[in-house]
Amino acid sequence: MTWETIMTHKEHMATAVKLAKYALDKGETPVACIFVDKITNQIVAYGMNDTNNSLNGIAHAEFMAIEQIKLRFSNDHKGFAEFCSNCIVYVTVEPCIMCASALKQLRIHKIYYGCGNDRFGGNGTVLSINNNMSTLGYDGSIFQQKSIPGLYRREAIMLLRYFYVKENKRSPNPRAKLDRNLDTKNFPNINWSQYMDRKLFGQEFGLNNLRNYDSMTDLEDYKSIDWDLIDSHYDSIVRDIKKEIKQFKQKENKKLKI
């Protein structure tokens, strides 16, 4: 078995979480994503929130990744669109309405994410762009985009909490209450039915876990926080991911030559 075939959704999301931690260490909002080719299971693009560094309000992680893919195809719109429709996105926080719309228009195959985005979530929390008719595929096609929350949900929430506490400390008028309490224990329930129906949940997580769906609780796998994952530093993460992307490109080029 090659390494590609043993990478699971959980492992891919762990990579996105590491990237989000890297962003946090660089002073960014800790939100990150990777795009994975659904056939080879290899990383093909990555993105981190860059709104603070670039002062560009739309420099969201998903847009950064989409831009990387776009560069590869320059004017080949058909190739670009086809490539995107074969991608699975792993993003630490639910895509905002703007990104959800972009991912839907590009007909991204499937989306996995960590925690919901209470204010701007476009995949179930505020709007359900992935499932509704407000946004069509780039070719005018109607389709339902599978979108699965809950992978490393608590870790994704914790990274955001780290960020807000840090920001608050830096602020000239820190809010003492926030500063004092970094909440590491309390997590809101996850109302799965807001994001996916029972059938999809069963398909994704197994019928034996449907009790989590009904009780709105995290899956056993994600109930206790993997502190190592979010407290480590990942200085080589970007280099590692770039290496994987390069490998993918080399394989693709070889295929084209045959």
- Point out which span in 54-62, 79-87, 218-226, 243-251 binds Zn ion (CB under 5 A): 54-62
The full DSSP string for 108-145 is -SEEEEEE--TTTBTBTTS-BTTTSSSS--TTS---PP
Please report whether residue 109 would count as binding Zn ion according to CB under 5 A.
no
Distances (CA, A) of 76 to 17, 88, 132: 32, 21, 29
| Rounded Cα gap, residues 236 and 10, in angstroms | 20
User: Other C-beta atoms within 10 Å of 202: how many?
Assistant: 15
| 13 lines the binding site for Zn ion (CB under 5 A) | no
CB of 32 to Zn ion, least distance (A): 12
- Residue 82 bears catalytic tag: no
Looking at 62, 94, 155, 244, which residue is catalytic? Answer: 62
Number of residues that bind Zn ion (CB under 5 A): 3
Main-chain dihedrals φ then ψ at residue 96, nearest 5 degrees: -70, 175
128 DSSP β-pair partners? 123
Site residues (CB under 5 A) for Zn ion, limited to 185-214: none
Residue of 87, 96, 156, 230 interacting with Zn ion (CB under 5 A): 96
99 binds Zn ion (CB under 5 A): yes
Among 21, 60, 104, 109, binds Zn ion (CB under 5 A): 60
Strand partners, 146: 110
**Least gap, CB of 62 to Zn ion (angstroms):** 6
- Catalytic positions are 62
Residues that bind Zn ion (CB under 5 A): 60, 96, 99
